[in-house]
Amino acid sequence: MTLVFASVLATGAATGSLPHGDRTSTAIKARAVASTADRDEVAHAAAEALADGKSATEAAEEAVSRSGDRWGAVYDEREYEEFEQALDGSYTGVGLAAKRSPDGLVAVARVQPGGPADRAGIELLRTIDGHRVDKRPVAEVVALLRGDRTSAAAGTTVVLGVQRGATGPTRKLTLTRARLLTEAVTVQKLGPDRSDSSAAVLIKVDSFTKGAGAKVRDAVRSAPAGAGVLLDLRGNSGGLVTEAVVAASAFLDGGLVATYDVHGEQRALYAEPGGDTVRPLVVLIDGGTMSAAELLTGALQDRGRAVTVGSRTFGKGSVQMPSKLAGGSVAELTVGHYRTPAGRSVDGHGITPDLAVSSRALQRGETVLSGLGGGS
């Protein structure tokens, strides 16, 4: 049985699961928060539509939408294949992560080095294939960048209306979508003298794709003895829950990471023994920290292993389970929720940092780490 903790990666590759992955579709819709969609009802809708010569995927989507299951979603075979590739750390897109700027415009959060957006030098997005994006949710902007079921493939094109600065002229760029490899975990030294062998280490985790947990573990093991770690989970929208547990194991000597339920039956996730429980640790979080990243944050906070710095996390703590439908599509429907080791529910609440900061979180995190004796 595969469980899913749904979220969305701003680059367009959606991930996050136990042990498969969590995602939202390229046709993400705003739905009210609710408990679950009935699996039999969704399956029946798909089978009935297929028998009538209609789209089983669209019928199933309508059934999920009516249910109010906020994180429930339906994917056709191509989308599901794309999802599997995303879990391996690759996706098709233009290599652009979007965010909402303070003035309400859609700005570039980051770009994939060497990708189409990087080469184009985009700063602000105004239109995608003629659709204005000013007031659209960021997730919808990502969906437009990826394209619909017929266009979301390497080699297809997307026309962007872009600006350099909020008052600059708008110009059009045509980008060709490409298959891109993501670098989920990056590591660098902190402080003014990064040649210092004892300098603290910044581990930035963009998503929990396959192998991300092991990369965190290896980075911790390779850090100088006594050097602190700044674990940056800002903007991490989730990924494979098993990878988040491996990452937790880098800092814990076994013990509970989280509990979750499936149709009312409680289960638990445990860290592997042997993690570094002494090294000073600060975790950076924000409103873009979701799902599996929240699970990791909650475990480290509840276990007293880290000081968390930043702003309240997103609050995505529901569990989805995928099932095959008639016609080959896949439905992922909410079946339960997970809780931190102290029994806190994350869904709809998020995680409050130990030190709340609205700006310069990285600098504040370094200061806290230095105060813990972890250097800077």
Give span(s): CATH 3.90.226.10, the chain.
1-89+182-371
* pLDDT number for residue 30: 27
Q: Which pLDDT belongs to residue 139?
A: 66
Dist. CA 253–CA 244, nearest whole Å: 15
Q: Identify the pLDDT of residue 3.
A: 44
What is residue 4's predicted lDDT score, i.e. its pLDDT? 45
pLDDT at 222: 94
Q: What is the pLDDT of residue 94?
A: 82
Tokens (6 digits) for 237: 């929208």
DSSP string for residues in 34-88: -S---HHHHHHHHHHHHHTTS-HHHHHHHHHHHHT-TT-EEE-HHHHHHHHHHHT
Q: Which fold has domain 1-89+182-371?
A: 2-enoyl-CoA Hydratase; Chain A, domain 1 (3.90.226)
| Delimiting residues of CATH 2.30.42.10 domain(s) in the chain | 94-181
Angle (deg, nearest 10), helices 39-51 and 56-67: 150
Amino acid 213: pLDDT: 97
**pTM of this structure:** 0.74
**Cα 198 to Cα 7: distance, rounded to the nearest angstrom:** 37
What CATH code is assigned to 94-181?
2.30.42.10
Whole-number pLDDT of residue 11: 29
Instruction: Divide the 376 residues of the chain into consecutive groups of 10 and give the mean pLDDT of each group.
Output: 39 33 30 56 91 91 88 80 68 74 73 78 84 78 74 81 79 86 87 70 94 96 93 91 95 97 87 97 95 96 98 90 88 88 95 95 95 80
Instruction: Please give the positions annotated as active site.
Output: 291, 316
Token reading at 289: 């920290």
pLDDT of residue 122: 72
At residue 333, the pLDDT reads: 87
